[in-house]
Amino acid sequence: MVKPRYLFMSMPQQPLLNAMRVIVDRYGLATQLGLALFVPTNWHQSLSDRHWEEDTPDLRERMLRAGGRVSAQAVAMMTLSQDPVPFGNRIDRHEEVLEWARSSCHEEEQVH
């Protein structure tokens, strides 16, 4: 039986995002990383149970309670940005990512 997994992605508020972009620009990270750097509108922090030292019912319950407080508006963040600005020639691969996600879900269904 497959065990459920929990994943949240938190997005930085605009002031923090602006400060992060200053650092990225200051150190030329956009140039160094090229296509590997996500557009700033997609910057996030992943919060997942796979990083917990112990997977206890208490931790799972706390994660579920936190998830119950997420507003429907926040769910819109799952849509990948297609805006390549300010990183110039970056080609957004959102269709490729969505196709991978669809095929991964399909493969998991076949395993059961």
List average pLDDT for each run of 10 residues in the chain, which is 112 residues long.
Answer: 71 87 91 85 77 77 78 46 42 52 49 41
In a domain, 2, yes or no: no
Q: Please give the model's pTM, rounded to 2 decimal places.
A: 0.45
Range of 64's domain? 7-111
Which amino acid, one-letter code, is at 82?
Q
pLDDT at position 27, please? Answer: 93
pLDDT at position 46, please? Answer: 77
In a domain, 44, yes or no: yes
Rounded to 5°, the CA angle 24-29-35 comes to: 115
Which amino acid, one-letter code, is at 84?
P
In a domain, 51, yes or no: yes
Work out how many domains the chain is built from and give that number: 1
Length of the chain: 112
pLDDT at position 23, please? Answer: 92
In whole angstroms, give the CA distance from residue 34 to residue 50: 29
pLDDT at position 110, please? Answer: 44
pLDDT at position 62, please? Answer: 82
In a domain, 1, yes or no: no
| Helix-strand-coil split of the chain, %, nearest 5 | 55, 5, 35
